[in-house]
């Protein structure tokens, strides 16, 4: 049985605590470095315009003025997306950028973004038959909408963007 010198136990405890702290600081530094160096996917301009449309369609301003308030009750993101892609919801979509001058100007005058000509809005999952599309998904548990841009229906998303559903009253 070996005898410890006085204070040796305290030194061991101090060294162990310092090693643990250094390990945690190193781990924290790696996390910060990874977060800083990870680039957010660049969103092409036409997809950015499609996201503006999706955000407009899911906004309280639009939903309060639409038929959504009269037909839906739960106020969940999945219900909003179902409404937006129903016949009644689609009838309320803004015009495309290549629409007649009057439609375009009316939409712009009241601050409604125009749908890009070459991007299709799709609910839930990408359509393999379509090329450029913005897929609008939902996360009811997180009370959020998720938009993913695809250049081909069977490929991986080019980007995704998430936003929280605002309260609708």
Long-range CB contacts (within 8 A, 24+) of 58-62: 58/84, 58/136, 58/145, 58/163, 58/165, 59/166, 60/166, 60/167, 60/168, 60/169, 62/92
CA distance 63 to 34: 39
The alpha carbon torsion through 98, 103, 44, 90 (nearest 10 deg) reads: -100
How many whole angstroms separate alpha carbon 82 and alpha carbon 89?
A: 8
Q: Would the pLDDT of 169 be above 60? A: yes
Summarised one tens digit per residue, pLDDT across range 19-58 is 455 554 444 443 333 444 445 668 899 999 999 999 999 9
Quick check: 145 and 54 in contact, CB under 8 A? yes
User: Using an 8 Å Cβ cutoff, are 163 and 55 in contact?
Assistant: yes
CA atoms within 13 A on the CB side of 35: 6
Distance CA 123, CA 93 (A): 14
Q: Which of 6-15, 92-101, 114-123 has the lowest mean pLDDT?
A: 6-15
pLDDT in tens, 149-165: 999 867 899 999 999 99
Averaged pLDDT of the chain: 82
Q: pLDDT at position 20, please?
A: 56
């Amino acid at each position: 049985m070996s005898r410890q010198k006085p204070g040796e136990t305290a030194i061991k405890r101090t060294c162990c605590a310092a090693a643990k702290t250094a390990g945690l600081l190193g781990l924290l530094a790696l996390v910060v470095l990874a977060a800083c160096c990870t680039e957010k996917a660049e969103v092409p301009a036409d997809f950015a315009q499609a996201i503006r449309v999706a955000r407009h369609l899911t906004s309280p301003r639009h939903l309060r003025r639409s038929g959504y308030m009269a037909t839906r009750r739960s106020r969940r993101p999945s219900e909003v997306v179902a409404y937006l892609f129903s016949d009644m919801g689609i009838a309320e979509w803004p015009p495309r950028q290549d629409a007649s001058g009057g439609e375009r100007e009316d939409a712009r005058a009241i601050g409604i973004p125009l749908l890009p000509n070459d991007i299709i809005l799709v609910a839930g999952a990408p359509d393999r038959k379509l090329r450029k599309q913005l897929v609008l998904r939902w996360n009811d548990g997180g009370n959020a909408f998720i938009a993913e841009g695809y250049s081909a229906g069977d490929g991986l998303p080019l980007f995704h963007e998430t936003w929280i559903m605002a309260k609708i009253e």
